[in-house]
Structure 1
Amino acid sequence: MINIDRLKSRMLEMAEIGKTNNNGVTRLALSEEERRGRLLLIQWMKDLGLAVRYDDFGNIYGRSEGTDPNASVIMSGSHIDSVPKGGKFDGVLGVLGALEAVESMLEKGIKHRHPIEIVSFTNEEGARFTPQMLGSGAVTGEFSREYIYNRTDDEGFRFEDELKKINFVGDEKNRLDNVGTFIEMHIEQGPVLETSQQTIGVVEGIAGFSWMEVTITGESNHSGTTPMSHRKDSLVTAAIAIKKISDWAKNEPEGIVATIGKIQTNPDIINAVPGETSFTIDIRCPREDQFEQCVKEVKEIIEKIVNEDSLTYSINEIRTHSPVIFSNRIVATIEEVCKGQNLSYRLMSSGAGHDAMYMNNIAETAMIFVPTVNGKSHCEEEDTLWTDIEKGASVLYETLASLAE
């Protein structure tokens, strides 16, 4: 159905660009390494006879024209940028899997009424320029060009200047247009498919998230002379709240998670009672009807614990995005393909954000997941079996062919 040897060869060749000592990848957005990856991708697209263009955000498109050029575009792809010391499958699988699907169609002489476009979005990871998914967000109305162009990395370099440096400032008229459907194949980046021994994840949506920074204020004092009974220790109160939040999440339905990613105390020295403790919370919830209640319950836990210890607190809501629900029609199409290929699958939600999240704003969207070995991703150990990649790419191929007829 697809040529796994060809797909594997391309993925391994791309993995050489930015390769780390432990067989991972560092290919940050708009870096020299990513520039080389972009040029390689464009060469492969041109080798297939695709019409290649890139827009004013550096998003790359390769178009296989349909018999009806005015029909809505069927689009598939992902990203080729990585996190520092990341894996070689994250994002790249979706781009090169789509390329392989289109090449297999062309080899078989399959005509498609709808144009098919392969896309590689800029700065999906957000590892260099925050926030994540700037390229897809730019072309779906989520972010303005001014906002994106003025994003800076940790060294103060501007997005626009770095885009110019790698010579990938395209024309605004090259942005995606008339996209009716978007399908993104991706590694799961979690353990669910592997542990349940299922081959394909048919993704129904993406979990909503709420990022908050909580600051608990007590009183700083000398650690040796302040009796335990007289302390207002912000860190102890924070620790109790953190444990309660973790316990709460463990008792919630599948897909609801809570993570404490950063903790900072003040004065942050060994011999003083912490007068102030700040910590971040990342709440994820896949269901629209539960999302706001989840956030509310976490806030109530914090309020209760802090009040019991007679301290004070504040919450800074950093960023919130409601759950994304994908197209029932596209999800059903992928399901039928899995059944036709006798592949085990499960309907699931993605806990991580992807370009599909923003593409869902403008097109019927869904995702295809393949298993991740040991559920490990965003690390050099990231791995997916080639047999699973072959099955996932075959599902993508047949889904695209069906929708593009």
Structure 2
Amino acid sequence: MSDVTVDGQRLRDRFDAFNEIGATEAGGVNRPSLSDANREARDQLVEWFEEAGLEVRIDEVGNVFGRREGRDPDADVVLLGSHVDSQYNGGRYDGVVGVLGALEVVEAFSDAGVETDRPLEVVSWSNEEGVRFQPDMLGSGVYAGVFDPEFAYGLEDKAGKTFGEELERIGYRGEAPAEPDDLHRYLELHVEQGPVLEERGLDVGVVEGVYGFAWLEATFEGQADHAGPTPMHARQDAFVGAAEVAKAVRELTATGGTDLVGTVGSVDVWPNSINVIPERVTFTVDVRSYDNETIDAAVDRVRREVEHAAEREGLEYELEELMRIDAAPFDDGCIETVAAAAEEVGCSYTHLVSGAGHDASYLNQLAPTGMLFVPSVDGVSHRESEYTEWDDVVAGTEVLCRAVERMATRA
């Protein structure tokens, strides 16, 4: 095994200190994108990058990079990282393990006095979660050329604040263009956010690809009226329409494909009064599968269900597709490298597919990309009780280190 070894205690100390930022009473964190807590997290990350001797670069949509040069400054970059924004009252591990683990890997090379052939860069992607500004994975999406920076700047949260304004407010609208360097490979370490590794008693998951998904937003417009005197046959209840679609989404997952999942995750009701028939309801639908044709069929089915529900209840409706990402396998070479690194470290592993979206999906369009997972206790994620055993975090970071070492040696 290589002399390059990660410092698990240093990583733990940083992890604990970092998660004091935006900490919640229930043990999670609340650092939605471009919030004050998110700014503090970015500031801390930049400070640690600089202390590690990395050259810091912030691009026009707030992606934060730290670069360690290699022997050949003209060689293509090995990029590794994840994100530090969180869900509202989310978990401490999601994203953060990947960013701090990547920083630890780079520092491990410095500690060992090892100069890689290729430059290494650690990245924290902007607005990965997408809870405040939709769509998610916005920073990596602009970087990959899927979205235009001006599109990102114009996105509004529920308070009417734009992404561009908030980026300026927290001081992270950088000057560097959000466009790819000459990338050699991209690697992302992440918690699994599912139960497979824990159920099988395995240390690491070698990710073969990421589910594709579609996000839809539907609005039903009916008629507000008094909940008491208005007879049932005379109602135009927007919430009834939304409830019918929500039930249909649950039903279609049982028939639309073996791995198809569907969720109605966000619902806004107006006027939202106990004794008023709902006049307007806006809600989202998230459908996912590792088969793109299955996603297409699910989206068509949701459209039909929205039309039928509107007709039955006498509602007007709008339906918009907010986001679509195709399912795509990761690079075979990256998969093999991560598996070989797991064997070198002595970690048990399996190959699996991710049902959650990741920035790696967009990086996969730019360069050979790979991911590795560490177990999530009880498969829990996107809530405050999210937890991963620390030994698993360290083991995953060691695997990341071995994989980076192989990738950063110029063949």
For the pair 1:36 / 2:34, whether they are aligned, the reply is: no
Q: Which residue of 1 aligns with 2:377?
A: 373
Amino acid at match of 1:67: R
Separation in structure 2 between the aligned mates of residue 163 and residue 56 of structure 1, nearest angstrom: 9
**CA separation of 1:222/1:167 partners in 2, compared to 1, >3 Å: closer, same or farther?**
closer
Q: Which amino acid aligns with 2:172?
A: F
CA deviation after TM superposition for structure 1 residue 276, in Å: 8.0
TM superposition outliers: structure 1 runs of 4+ over 4 Å: 173-176, 213-241, 251-254, 262-279, 297-307, 309-315
Structure 2 residue 51 is matched with structure 1 residue 47: yes
Partner of 2:64: 60
2:207 aligned with 1:199: no
Q: Determine whether 1:331 maps to 2:331.
A: no
Match of 2:104 in 1: 100
Aligned to 2:155: 151
- Does the 8 Å contact 1:53/1:174 carry over to 2? no
Q: 1:316 is matched by which residue type in structure 2?
A: L
Q: Distance in 1 between matches of 2:174 and 2:348?
A: 42
1:115: Cα distance to partner? 0.8
Check whether the contact 2:63–2:125 (CA below 8 A) recurs between aligned residues.
yes
Gaps of 5+ in 2: none
| Alpha-carbon contact 1:214-1:313 (below 8 Å) kept | no
Check the 8 A contact 2:57/2:176 in 1, yes or no.
Answer: no
Q: How does 1:267-346 map to 2 (within 5 A)?
A: 279-299=283-303, 316-325=319-328, 326-346=330-350
Task: Please point out which of 161, 168, 171 is paired with 2:165.
Answer: 161
After TM superposition, list the pairs within 5 Å mapping 1:208-223 onto structure 2.
208-214=212-218
Q: Secondary structure at the match of 2:186?
A: strand
The farther-off stretch of 395-404 and 136-145 is: 136-145
Choose which of 13, 18, 21 in structure 1 pairs with 2:17.
Answer: 13
For 1:127, the equivalent position in structure 2 comes to 131
Aligned-pair CA distance for 1:224: 7.5
Q: How many Å separate the matches in 1 of 2:169 and 2:231?
A: 60
| Aligned mate of 1:396, from 394, 397, 400 | 400
CA–CA separation in structure 2 for the residues paired with 1:166 and 1:235 = 38
User: CA separation in 1, counterparts of 2:349 and 2:232?
Assistant: 55
Which deviates further from its counterpart, 221-230 or 45-54? 221-230
> 1: CA distance between counterparts of 2:47 and 2:221?
57
Which residue of the other structure, out of 175, 185, 192, is the alignment partner of 1:181? 185
Q: Tell me the amino acid that sits aligned with residue 211 of structure 1.
A: W
Partners of 2:108 and 2:14 in 1: CA distance: 14
Change (3 A) 1:320 1:136: closer
- Give CA deviations for 1:285-318 in whole Å, capped at 9, x if unaligned: 12234332333345556677888x6978856133
Deviation of 1:232 (Å) = 8.6
Letter in 1 for 2:335: V
Q: 1:287 to 1:165 in 2, by over 3 A?
A: same
Amino acid at match of 2:295: F
Counterpart-to-counterpart distance in 1, 2:278 and 2:303: 22
Q: Which of 133, 140, 147 is 1:136 aligned to?
A: 140
Residue 212 of structure 1 deviates from its aligned partner by 2.9
Output the aligned Cα RMSD: 3.2
> Does the Cα contact within 8 Å between 2:215 and 2:324 map onto a contact in 1?
no
Give the AA of the match of 2:369: T
Deviates more, 1:29-38 or 1:394-403: 29-38
2:91 equivalent in structure 1: 87
Change (3 A) 1:342 1:166: same
Separation (CA, whole Å) in 1 of partners of 2:268 and 2:172 = 39
Q: 2:365 aligns with which of 358, 361, 372?
A: 361
Deviates more, 1:383-392 or 1:82-91: 82-91
Q: Which amino acid aligns with 2:321?
A: I
SS at match of 1:389: helix
Aligned residues: 404
Query: SS at the partner of 1:380?
Result: coil
- In structure 1, what residue type is equivalent to 2:184? G
Q: Are the counterparts in 2 of residues 232 and 275 from structure 1 also a CA contact under 8 Å?
A: yes
* Rounded Cα–Cα distance in structure 2 between residues aligned with 1:113 and 1:315: 54
Mapped partners of 1:55, 1:193: distance in 2: 36
Relative to 1, partners in 2 of residues 1:58 and 1:324: Cα closer, same or farther, differing over 3 Å? same
Name the counterpart of 1:171.
Answer: 175
Once structures 1 and 2 are overlaid, which stretch shifts more, 241-250 or 38-47?
A: 241-250
1:233, distance to aligned residue in structure 2 (A):
7.6
- Specify every segment of 5 or more residues in structure 1 that has no aligned partner in the other structure, as ranges: none
| 1:219 CA drift (Å) | 9.3
